[in-house]
Amino acid sequence: MSDVLDKARAWLADDPDPATRAELRAVLSRAVDGDDDALADLADRFAGILRFGTAGLRGALGAGPNRMNRAVVIRAAAGLAAYLRDTRIPVDGRRHRVVVGFDARYRSHDFALDTAAVMTAAGFDALIMPRTLPTPVLAFAVRQLDADAGVMVTASHNPPEDNGYKVYLGGDDGGSQIVSPADAEIATHIDAVASVASVPRAETGWAEIGEDVVDAYLTSAAAVAMPGGPRQARIVLTSLHGVGGATVLDTLRQAGFTHLHAVAEQADPDPDFPTVAFPNPEEAGAIDLALALARDVGADLVIANDPDADRCAVALPSRADERDGDWRMLHGDQVGALLGEHLAATGRGGVFANSIVSSRLLGRIAAAHGLEHVETLTGFKWISRVPGLRYGYEEALGYCVDPESVRDKDGISAAVLVAELAAATQAGGRTLWDVLDDLALRHGLHVSDQLSVRVDDLSLIGGAMARLRATPPSTLAGSPVTTADDLLAGDGGLPPTDGLRYLTADGSRAIVRPSGTEPKLKCYLEVVIPVAAASGLPAARETATRRLAAIRSDVSAALGL
């Protein structure tokens, strides 16, 4: 324990932030007095440094190297600057250019200013967003301003106590999130930072990005809706206390939508996220206030963004044949298929892509329209890099509908496209459920589900993956497993990644992988049921529900968690 105490004292001496110094000093004092809880807390804070990876940095706020704080951010900024200096040659003799955005979480603005200070002292042009703005605006600015890199300070949909640091690369990377080997190279440069005190930081010299860049984003995002189409859908919106509220409203209005109702209790940014247990529209209860408002105003559609507005969730009034007459959240794969069909059917074709954990339906839609389809590893860092990309999505509510403007998932432009589709469908006397039924009749009923296991001990995830590799399931829901791909070995024609994929004789699929951003093991399940006629759809949905439940049970048993 003396080693941890020495590390804590050394970190304390190098910490530039009075707030985290005071926090660490208090924990250290209790630990020295023999407080077991403080000793355990200290051991966790100094269990290692918060590692920089393809998701950048993300973790709980607090003092110490295994937390998000100014010391960790300054080191990260210095490492990124060194990486850019070594690998990027600015064009036309100009200086390196880095744009910095931030959300409304605790310390986000501080971390953004520290990043700008480090970049300025490094001799770079540092451009900082004028206010709290969604992640897609930062991703847009990287391309719009021809920057070498962009940094977005956000923890997206993580709990209130977290924050994060997401990096985009410009130039040949086109404004996409970092991928290997850039992540490892940046991490190496971060590790080479001797101390925070050794990192030069300017006190002034960075510039504030003008509102003209924000206006250009709004115009671009609004333009994904084709001019002259129906705009009568009545829409309820929620930003879940995040930074997307005003931007989404402004964009939809610019696109011509006027029947807009924002959830007042969740409209303004609030880092405490007081009305939700977890600020993620996928979580149970997160959009309850939006659904209540939708019932009150007779809405046709609910759109929910996560706190940094790069994801988009959709809810609809239940099908006419459902007895409770309430609302239903669409699965991310359903929205992905609807948007893909809409783009293809309206002539906005090109290469379509989705991650391997997303539904196989998009591939069938693309084929039916004579379009190329590509499957990638999980994450928009891969989807956004598909050559010739026109549309990409992943089941976790991420959609890239305008890759020429934003090479990442964008919950705002996706909201505009969802609104356009809903209004056009409504004007034709139909619902989005009818469109999904059309796709099921054409391509088979594709139904997805997910089993997610959150752990406190990360070693449990490694143990479960090892057990599955040693003893893979021979059947799922009674159907023989015909293909078992170990994605870590590069099976299945993709770059190596830690994951396992099982295909069964009846066309079902299960993929198991550790989450890249949370302490979770995720299992992605899909069944496909052929349907010959509309009259067979209710029975097909029941069959799919039973089969998914059986697969979920079999996978859960195989995990042993």
Q: What is the DSSP string of 432-465?
A: HHHHHHHHHHHH-EEEEEEEEEE-SSTHHHHHHH
Looking at 364-508, which runs of residues are DSSP E strands?
373-376, 389-394, 398-400, 445-454, 475-476, 479-486, 500-504
In this structure, the answer to whether residues 313 and 399 fall within a common structural domain is yes
* Rounded Cα gap, residues 309 and 412, in angstroms: 7
In this structure, the answer to whether residues 181 and 271 fall within a common structural domain is no
Number of domains in the chain: 4
Rg (CA), the chain: 24
In a domain, 219, yes or no: no
In this structure, the answer to whether residues 320 and 378 fall within a common structural domain is yes
In this structure, the answer to whether residues 287 and 399 fall within a common structural domain is yes
In a domain, 222, yes or no: no
- Tell me which DSSP letter residue 225 carries: S
- Give the pLDDT band (50/70/90) at residue 325: low
Mean pLDDT for the stretch of residues 253-271: 98
Mean pLDDT for the stretch of residues 299-317: 98
* Rounded Cα gap, residues 326 and 506, in angstroms: 33
Please report where in the chains the tokens 């969802």 appear, as a residue.
418
Return all residues near 96 (Cβ < 8 A) that are at least 6 apart.
81, 84, 85, 88, 90, 119, 122, 123, 124, 125, 148, 149
Beta-bridged to residue 303, according to DSSP, are 237, 314
Phi-psi region at 293: left, alpha or beta (left = phi > 0; alpha = psi -120 to 50): alpha
Cβ atoms of 165 and 58 closer than 8 Å: yes
Question: pTM for the whole thing?
Answer: 0.95
pLDDT at residue 490 greater than cutoff 90: no
In this structure, the answer to whether residues 418 and 452 fall within a common structural domain is no
CB atoms within 10 A of CB 403: 24
In this structure, the answer to whether residues 399 and 289 fall within a common structural domain is yes
> Which of 29, 108, 156, 474 is an active site residue?
156
Mean pLDDT for the stretch of residues 216-231: 97
In this structure, the answer to whether residues 269 and 293 fall within a common structural domain is yes
- Give the pLDDT band (50/70/90) at residue 2: confident
In this structure, the answer to whether residues 15 and 34 fall within a common structural domain is yes
pLDDT of res. 323: 57
- Tell me which DSSP letter residue 534 carries: G
In a domain, 353, yes or no: yes
What φ, ψ does residue 349 adopt, rounded to 5°? Answer: -95, 175
In this structure, the answer to whether residues 272 and 412 fall within a common structural domain is yes
Element (H, E) at 160: none
Bond before 274 cis per omega within 30 degrees: no
Residue where a domain stops, chosen among 151, 174, 209: 209
Cβ atoms of 189 and 55 closer than 8 Å: no
Residue where a domain stops, chosen among 421, 441, 461: 441
What CATH number should be reported for the domain holding residue 159?
Answer: 3.40.120.10
CB atoms within 10 A of CB 144: 19
* Rounded Cα gap, residues 354 and 182, in angstroms: 22
In a domain, 218, yes or no: no
In this structure, the answer to whether residues 192 and 291 fall within a common structural domain is no
In a domain, 359, yes or no: yes
Going by C-alpha positions, the residue among 33, 264, 72 that lies closest to residue 162 is 72
Tokens of 437: 């039924």
**160-206: pLDDT as tens digits:** 999 999 999 999 999 999 998 999 999 999 999 999 999 999 999 99
Tokens of 479: 């159907």
In this structure, the answer to whether residues 61 and 5 fall within a common structural domain is no
What φ, ψ does residue 327 adopt, rounded to 5°? Answer: -110, 155
Catalytic status, residue 156: yes
Q: Give the dihedral sign, CA 52/403/130/268.
A: negative
Single-letter code of the amino acid located at 277: A
In a domain, 276, yes or no: yes
Cβ atoms of 518 and 454 closer than 8 Å: yes
In a domain, 548, yes or no: yes
**20-75: pLDDT as tens digits:** 999 999 999 999 999 999 999 999 999 989 988 777 899 999 999 999 999 999 99
Residue where a domain stops, chosen among 394, 411, 441: 441
pLDDT of res. 486: 94
pLDDT of res. 132: 98
Going by C-alpha positions, the residue among 201, 160, 206, 161 that lies closest to residue 71 is 201
The tally of CA atoms less than 13 A away on the side-chain side of residue 315 is 27
Domain range enclosing 325: 232-441
Beta-bridged to residue 445, according to DSSP, are 529
Tokens of 382: 């891969």
In this structure, the answer to whether residues 285 and 379 fall within a common structural domain is yes
What φ, ψ does residue 236 adopt, rounded to 5°? Answer: -100, 135
